[in-house]
Structure 1
Amino acid sequence: MGDGKKVKVRRFTLDNRWVVPYNPYLLALFDCHMNVEICSTIKLVKYLYKYVFKGHDLVCFRIMTDDSPTDTDEIKEFQKGRYISPPEAFWRIYEFRLNEMTPSVYTLQVHLPNQQLVSFSKNSDLLQLLAKVDFSKTMLTEFFKMNATNAAAESLKCFYKDFPQHFVWSSKYRHWTERKRRKVIGRLVSVNPREEERYYLRLLLNHIPAPISFDDLLTVNAKKMNSFREAALALGLLQSDTYIEETLEEAAAFQMPSSLRLLFATLLVYCSPTDPTMLWRKFELDFTRDYERHKQYHAYSPAQIRGLVLADINKSLHQMGTSIAAYQLPLDDLVSVDHVHLTKEIEAEKNIDIPPEDLLMSLRLNAQQKYAYDTILQACFASQGHSFFIDGPGGIGKTFLYRSLLATLRSQGYIAIAVATSGIAASILPGGRTEHSRFKIPLDFSKNRTCQLSKQGSVARLLSESKLILWDEASMAKRETIEAFDDLLRDVMESELPFGGKVVVFGGDFRQTLPVIKQATKEILLQSCFLNSPLWYKLHKLKLIENMRAILDPQFSEFLLRVGEGRELVDFNGEITLPRDLVIPYYDKEESLNRLLQSIFPDLTLYSLDPYRMINRCILTPKNSSVDELNDILIKRFPGELHTFISSDKTVDQRHQGDYEDFLNSQNPKGLPPHRLMLKEH
């Protein structure tokens, strides 16, 4: 910092910015060079520590001749040429301390009864070690013993943290002895409040002098408490729950019940309320409000509703590393919690809404669909299960058949589980989910090849009570996925029959998985799906070949089958020639696009009046840029006034706005509208 004072040294003008900080008194006292530095960061502390313990000053030299080898072995030279002075050698031979901390700090163990930490070398002989060392003796247990048997300890009546000031711990002989000199500070090992009882034990040790046992810590006013938490509560060591009550009251005014339950679980874990039971009774109605209003739980009793809420809170506590059993909440409802949680999956499946039109689908099945429908239902009500594969190209009516089966079984009160390999296919089926979500099938089979489900869990019980398990788009699944599912059902049902003897219906179209024209591609296909699995040969195949989507165009339907099965003729380049009635000849870009749009959307005026007529028509393109181009053409042809909306893109750092604004405007990320959005009012 310049203060205006300057001095001229050897033709150079200098101010105090050229002066290294120093202390005149220290320079005069030690008569040596000494700078003054401020230790304001951890890096400076590390630097000073390294500077002090860097060792003696060394000089490395080497005598070389003209014929000496050019290669240098630095490790060998260091080992042969290292110099140790006599004082250093003497100090190290007698193993004197190189550094020490004054005063010394003892880290005192804190453990629950019979839960002490036992450490030993991995190469130790355990039998010999157990015979030699009594691991039941710890700092804490011997502290209790000294308070009960040692006259000096009894007279001191000191806390656990102050005990090392008067006694020293021998790790070799595992006992305390009286200290003759040197002051030592005791520090209890840190304990997280989430460790519950161990945390409250530490709290008691800091406030109760000279305890003689764990039971002594549990005894308050001649009454033995059931836990260290109760003892701390009785001694008034836990603070008031007033601020916790105020937090819950404020949150109850605007938070949803689910968020309020999560907040309550968080407060239990991290704020350690003194009376969780009182908090539960006061806010129980706020916790259960959403369950009471949901039509699914109208038939539930108050005890069952309470069990559902406690199960939800317990789930949050499990995610935080604890459980509801550690807190003074209604223990009588814990049994109902397990029962309600176990039946939750089953109730959810039984309450899936059945569309009225699905109940009538069984009356509209064609002959092939009807045969498959009757065969599968017969297997569902038989004593022994079967597994099926519905094979058919797109448009054949597989989804129509699936919805008929699901509606029929669910309308009679049975459980029918619907899953699919892809999320889009699962969304089409009522109550559908992906197989990874429903059966917890691992995504990476290199680490685990089993489904992550408990045999005693709610999903396992759901599988055992189901009448039908339907898996759509199974042709896209890997072999390991199907085999893991088979192992899961065999384990749940305790049966060696395929899929545990359950009725399982797979469906899909291998024609849509990958082209199988070349042998190499076919081999890849066989490796990626379960065609090469032994389970494939145990399935009862049901083929559907009547294309319901193109029932009015049998020639097109037959053409699709020939292409999918590889029977369509190809040219010398291995390419298929499309029929002329499917192709719009290309003359130039503008004319061809106009003919395409005219054939798909002949009258846009009618579509603006009836939007559903446009929903059933679409143009598929291989590139997103083509989609944008066609949308721009069509929006201009719709009747009405065109409105253009421009987005406002901003950079994180406003200094770069001018440089990158045009670039941001040119981007069109997925899920966001384009920079220039053109709309017409309908």
Structure 2
Amino acid sequence: MADKREWKPRKIGVSIGRLTYIPTGSGELYYLRLLLNYQKGCCNYDNVKIVNGFIHKTYKEACYAIGLLADDKKFIDAIIESNDLASGNQLRRLFLTLLLMNIMSRLDEVWNKTWKLLSDDILYQKRKEFVLPEMSEMHCSLFQSLTPEQVDVYENIMTAVLSKVGASSGIASLLLLGGKLAHSTFCIPLLINEESTCNIPQGSLRAKLLIKTKLIIWDEAPMINSLRFEALDRTLRDIMRVESEENALKPFGNKVIVLGGDFRQILPVVKNGSKYDIVKATLNYSKLCKHCKILKLTENMRLKSHTSMQSQTEIKEFSDWILHIGDGDMELNELGQGMIEILEENLILDVEQPLLQLVEFVYPSYINNVTSDGSFDDGAILCPITECVDQVNEFILSLIPGSEITYLSSDSPCEPEEQENA
């Protein structure tokens, strides 16, 4: 009775009350409700978990012992069968889907019988990530005893010890082993001024990574505005103060940084900037330049890949000629302009059809190889003048009907600021 707060036996049936609905995703509370529909004469919570005289640790195990939960063999078989066609990453996605659906009765049993398949490529991924071909399962077992945050710190420290390579452009970062864009690595702001710093809080995981880092290599450095180097300098000075207060007074917080690149190549792009603005944005204009030690590469590694002495000689002569132009070792007028004498072996002379000869030189036997895969992958014709481009395109189209031309032009709709951050 409601007023006396007592149970009144039902006239029909054996139930004395109604259990509140519990959703299946409620964990142990759901399994407790499930047991209460079958266990009789229970006086406390431990009695509910007794099945055939044995007290189970959890309500879920008791439900499984009674037979209230379905067998997980079908899920185990699904993962095993998928292993023949799916990758390790796809298997883990399947397992994650089963977890989100909350349809497995005993997760530990499914995991114990399939974990080797689910983690089959983990060792390979860690070997590639840490650049440690000899890495074994013993090394990987270390992660099992760490918290997620400790794993992040350990991975960052491992990466730092092996050294990290940054690059100013996306293409350069792809060509470097373990390379990353400098903007993402150091959290450099896009809108920058003389007082900007990188978005790396003191004590963060990225800050701990930089503290452990022994060497930073920044490729294509001449392309970047010097304000970004100065922002990194201020950030590293602040971060490295935790190691020693003297680091706050040293360039880049006393870190060793290698800035690679060639000043003969493109300089920083300054939107609507004058010549003075561009020069002011260069690295050698920065106050950090006085702390730099200039080291020049003296050995052409490309020459070592050619066994023929004639090939080595030709490449060296061409390289010296290019460097001669880049260094400005020629007679120039007051505007910095001069005449460049092109080597005779680089010219097409005394031919009736110079464009045909040019195409034949870049794409040998192009008529016979036009349908072959990759026949045009190893060569390109670059034209600095629009009229020349049109002539070459029309000529190639006349030789190869149905072909298409891909333009690589400096007249790009991309704004200079976007080019700099690309």
- 2:119 equivalent in structure 1: 288
Identity, % of aligned positions? 23
Letter of the 2:101 partner, please give it. Y
Q: State whether residues 156 and 209 of structure 2, in contact with CA within 8 Å, keep that contact through their aligned partners in structure 1.
A: yes
1:99-498 paired onto structure 2 within 5 Å: 152=5, 157-160=17-20, 193=25, 199-200=26-27, 203=30, 219=45, 221=47, 230-231=58-59, 234-235=62-63, 240-271=71-102, 273-291=104-122, 296=132, 298-302=134-138, 304-306=139-141, 333-335=144-146, 342-344=153-155, 415-439=162-186, 441=188, 450-451=198-199, 455=203, 457=205, 463-479=210-226, 481-486=228-233, 489-490=236-237, 492-493=239-240, 494=242, 495-496=247-248, 497-498=250-251
The 1:203–1:630 alpha-carbon spacing in structure 2 relative to 1, beyond 3 Å, is: farther
The 1:151–1:261 alpha-carbon spacing in structure 2 relative to 1, beyond 3 Å, is: farther
- 1:561 equivalent in structure 2: 327
Q: Which of 513, 532, 540 matches 2:292?
A: 540
Q: State whether residues 167 and 173 of structure 2, in contact with CA within 8 Å, keep that contact through their aligned partners in structure 1.
A: yes
Letter of the 2:274 partner, please give it. T
- 1:525 equivalent in structure 2: 278
Q: State whether residues 550 and 557 of structure 1, in contact with CA within 8 Å, keep that contact through their aligned partners in structure 2.
A: no
Query: Is 1:576 paired with 2:337?
Result: yes
The 1:464–1:292 alpha-carbon spacing in structure 2 relative to 1, beyond 3 Å, is: same
The 1:506–1:556 alpha-carbon spacing in structure 2 relative to 1, beyond 3 Å, is: closer
- Secondary structure of the 2:118 match is helix
d(CA) in 2 for partners of 1:471, 1:456: 22
Residues 405-425 of structure 1, C-alpha deviation per residue, up to 9 Å, x if partnerless? Answer: xxxxxxxxx734322111332
The 1:499–1:575 alpha-carbon spacing in structure 2 relative to 1, beyond 3 Å, is: closer
Q: Which of 506, 509, 521 matches 2:259?
A: 506
- 2:415 equivalent in structure 1: none
The 1:252–1:476 alpha-carbon spacing in structure 2 relative to 1, beyond 3 Å, is: same
Q: State whether residues 224 and 282 of structure 2, in contact with CA within 8 Å, keep that contact through their aligned partners in structure 1.
A: yes
Letter of the 2:82 partner, please give it. A
If each structure's strand is expressed as a fraction of its own residues, which one has the higher value? 1
Letter of the 1:568 partner, please give it. L
Q: State whether residues 233 and 274 of structure 1, in contact with CA within 8 Å, keep that contact through their aligned partners in structure 2.
A: no
- 1:621 equivalent in structure 2: 383
Residues 275-328 of structure 1, C-alpha deviation per residue, up to 9 Å, x if partnerless? Answer: 2221121012212333457874655345x44565xxxxxxxxxxxxxxxxxxxx
Residues 555-607 of structure 1, C-alpha deviation per residue, up to 9 Å, x if partnerless? Answer: 7644422399xx9326xxx68343244699999x9755357668x669979xx
Report which structure shows greater RCO (CA 8 Å, sep ≥6): 2
d(CA) in 2 for partners of 1:629, 1:547: 42
Q: State whether residues 475 and 509 of structure 1, in contact with CA within 8 Å, keep that contact through their aligned partners in structure 2.
A: yes
| RMSD of Structure 2 on Structure 1 (CA) | 5.6
- 1:593 equivalent in structure 2: 355
Q: State whether residues 568 and 576 of structure 1, in contact with CA within 8 Å, keep that contact through their aligned partners in structure 2.
A: yes
The 1:153–1:338 alpha-carbon spacing in structure 2 relative to 1, beyond 3 Å, is: farther
1:45-56 paired onto structure 2 within 5 Å: none
List alignment gaps of at least 5 residues for structure 1: 1-146, 162-187, 194-198, 210-217, 309-332, 350-413, 609-613, 637-643, 647-664, 671-682
Letter of the 1:513 partner, please give it. I
Q: State whether residues 49 and 62 of structure 2, in contact with CA within 8 Å, keep that contact through their aligned partners in structure 1.
A: no
1:513 deviates by: 2.9
The 1:239–1:500 alpha-carbon spacing in structure 2 relative to 1, beyond 3 Å, is: farther
List alignment gaps of at least 5 residues for structure 2: 9-15, 37-43, 51-56, 301-314, 370-375, 409-422
Q: State whether residues 166 and 180 of structure 2, in contact with CA within 8 Å, keep that contact through their aligned partners in structure 1.
A: yes
The 1:626–1:575 alpha-carbon spacing in structure 2 relative to 1, beyond 3 Å, is: farther
- Secondary structure of the 1:279 match is helix
The 1:205–1:277 alpha-carbon spacing in structure 2 relative to 1, beyond 3 Å, is: closer
Q: State whether residues 164 and 215 of structure 2, in contact with CA within 8 Å, keep that contact through their aligned partners in structure 1.
A: yes
1:263 deviates by: 2.3
- Secondary structure of the 1:418 match is strand
Q: State whether residues 585 and 592 of structure 1, in contact with CA within 8 Å, keep that contact through their aligned partners in structure 2.
A: no
d(CA) in 2 for partners of 1:431, 1:503: 18
1:267 deviates by: 2.2
d(CA) in 2 for partners of 1:555, 1:289: 53
Letter of the 2:117 partner, please give it. D
d(CA) in 2 for partners of 1:464, 1:265: 36
d(CA) in 2 for partners of 1:152, 1:445: 72
Letter of the 2:275 partner, please give it. K
Number of aligned pairs? 343
The 1:546–1:232 alpha-carbon spacing in structure 2 relative to 1, beyond 3 Å, is: closer
| Higher gyration radius (CA) | 1
Letter of the 1:499 partner, please give it. F
The 1:554–1:433 alpha-carbon spacing in structure 2 relative to 1, beyond 3 Å, is: same
d(CA) in 1 for partners of 2:275, 2:6: 83
Could you state the TM-score of these two structures normalised by the residue count of structure 1? 0.39
1:455 deviates by: 4.6
- 2:417 equivalent in structure 1: none
Q: State whether residues 245 and 279 of structure 1, in contact with CA within 8 Å, keep that contact through their aligned partners in structure 2.
A: yes
d(CA) in 2 for partners of 1:460, 1:271: 39
- 2:41 equivalent in structure 1: none
- Secondary structure of the 2:260 match is strand
Residues 120-145 of structure 1, C-alpha deviation per residue, up to 9 Å, x if partnerless? Answer: xxxxxxxxxxxxxxxxxxxxxxxxxx
Q: State whether residues 257 and 287 of structure 1, in contact with CA within 8 Å, keep that contact through their aligned partners in structure 2.
A: yes
- Secondary structure of the 2:382 match is coil
Could you state the TM-score of these two structures normalised by the residue count of structure 2? 0.57
d(CA) in 1 for partners of 2:24, 2:228: 41
The 1:271–1:540 alpha-carbon spacing in structure 2 relative to 1, beyond 3 Å, is: same
Residues 498-557 of structure 1, C-alpha deviation per residue, up to 9 Å, x if partnerless? Answer: 3221101113344533499xx9423542676666765x3453141649897866786764
- Secondary structure of the 1:513 match is coil
The 1:667–1:542 alpha-carbon spacing in structure 2 relative to 1, beyond 3 Å, is: closer
1:270 deviates by: 3.1
Letter of the 1:560 partner, please give it. G
